Structure 1
Amino acid sequence: MKSILKQTAFYCCLLSGLGLLFIGLRFFFDPIAASTDYGIKPQLNMDFSFEYIKGIRDFFFGLIILVLLLKKQWQALGWVLLTGVIIPLADFSIVISQPEYVIGHTIAHLIAIVICFACGIYYLKNHKTISQ
């Protein structure tokens, strides 16, 4: 059972980290589509400041997850994930505050909340036994 949990947490973090790198880059290279998929209307005046801020934030968070995961820094990864729950919570709040939000745009943020919280708790509780 522990092996399944260990593998599940590892691959959830690996896929999340890689996904965040992709999302971050997408906000730089295709900010209009990325904004729409995120759940907000893109700026009509072509000011993509929000998108670039979101892009670098997601890219950095994905990079941190991957570095800690690959360096097997389980306790640090647990803390980053657990405290990082504020990011998808804020994203969720931003999306639902939009006048014409679509429930489908909130699902990715809700999944991210669950992954950050569950994997963060897992790595904090098990960081000593995972390394053995």
Structure 2
Amino acid sequence: MTQRNITRSLSLLLGLGMIFIGARFLLAPRAGAEGFGVFLPADSNYAFHYAKGIRDVFSGLLLALFAGLGYDRPLAWVTLLGALIPCVDLAIVLAQPTGSLALATPHLLAIVLLLALTVSLFTLTRPASTNTK
């Protein structure tokens, strides 16, 4: 399997994972929040959860679409800019009274994965050098 196929496959899996996470926030907001690392009182309003859910579904669809269609350069930009999301999510989790390294680890892994995919995608789509004199 080539680097291109591995990178696209990982991007596609990441996109599908994001769709799952977003759907969980939309369909089971309490379970989504606890999986995210935020524990809320029983009488909580789920407005934030729905906003996060649709954001994750959209992000996942974008990743899956670009990976599936082989749009490596746009996918590279989406993964680079998308790395901001788990960075903010990490800060949110760590700001909670229940925040811990264990709850932060999935967000840290997402950041590392997105940045590694970004490097791989930009390497794959590097413009051919033009040797003009």
* Superposition TM-score, scaled by structure 1 size: 0.88
Tell me the equivalent position of 2:106.
108
Residue identity matched to 1:41: F
Q: Does the aligned pair in 2 maintain the 1:89–1:113 contact within 8 Å?
A: yes
Q: Does the aligned pair in 1 maintain the 2:66–2:75 contact within 8 Å?
A: yes
Three-state SS of the structure 2 residue aligned to 1:46 is coil
Q: Deviations over 1:80-130 (max 9, x none)?
A: 00011100000001000111213221111111101111111211221268x
Gaps in structure 2 of 5+ consecutive residues: 128-133
Tell me the equivalent position of 2:27.
29
CA distance in 2, matches of 1:46, 1:92: 21
Using the TM superposition, give the Cα deviation of residue 23 of structure 1 relative to its aligned residue in structure 2, in angstroms. 0.5
Using the TM superposition, give the Cα deviation of residue 12 of structure 1 relative to its aligned residue in structure 2, in angstroms. 1.8
CA distance in 1, matches of 2:40, 2:26: 13
Tell me the equivalent position of 1:126.
124
Tell me the equivalent position of 2:69.
71
* Structure 1 stretch displaced more, 34-43 or 65-74: 34-43
Tell me the equivalent position of 2:58.
60
Three-state SS of the structure 1 residue aligned to 2:62 is helix
Q: Which runs of 4+ in 1 moved over 6 A?
A: none
Q: Does the aligned pair in 1 maintain the 2:18–2:60 contact within 8 Å?
A: yes
Matched, 1:84 2:76: no
Tell me the equivalent position of 2:131.
none
Gaps in structure 1 of 5+ consecutive residues: none
Using the TM superposition, give the Cα deviation of residue 44 of structure 1 relative to its aligned residue in structure 2, in angstroms. 3.2
Tell me the equivalent position of 1:20.
18
Residue identity matched to 1:60: F
Three-state SS of the structure 2 residue aligned to 1:70 is helix
What percentage of aligned pairs have identical amino acids?
A: 32
* Superposition TM-score, scaled by structure 2 size: 0.88
Q: CA RMSD in A?
A: 1.7
Q: In the superposition, relative to structure 1, how do residues 22 and 108 fare at CA in structure 2: closer, same or farther (>3 Å)?
A: same
Structure number with larger C-alpha Rg: 2
CA distance in 1, matches of 2:81, 2:9: 20
Tell me the equivalent position of 2:95.
97
Give the total of aligned pairs.
127
